[in-house]
Amino acid sequence: MNYLWAFVVGGGLCVIGQLLIDLTALTPARILVGYVVAGVVLSAAGVYQPLVEFAGAGASVPLLGFGHTLAQGAVRAVELHGLIGVLTGPLAAAAGGITASLLAGFLMALVAHSRDQN
1 binds another protein per the rule CB under 8 A: no
CA distance 43 to 48: 5
Minimal distance, residue 33 CB to another protein, in Å: 5
Hey, which residues between 85 and 104 contact another protein (CB under 8 A)? 85-87, 89-91, 93-94, 96-98, 100-102, 104
Which one of 10, 24, 48, 50 is in contact with another protein (CB under 8 A)? 10
Amino acid in the structure at residue 105: G
Minimal distance, residue 114 CB to another protein, in Å: 9
Q: For 61, which DSSP code?
A: S
Between the CA of residue 93 and those of 18, 25, 31, 79, 87, what are the distances in Å? 28, 32, 22, 14, 11
Hey, which residues between 46 and 85 contact another protein (CB under 8 A)? 52, 55-58, 60-63, 65-67, 70-75, 77-79, 82-83, 85
Minimal distance, residue 78 CB to another protein, in Å: 5
Size of the site for another protein (CB under 8 A): 83
CB 45 within 8 A of CB 65: no
CB 71 within 8 A of CB 85: no
CB 72 within 8 A of CB 64: no
Minimal distance, residue 83 CB to another protein, in Å: 6
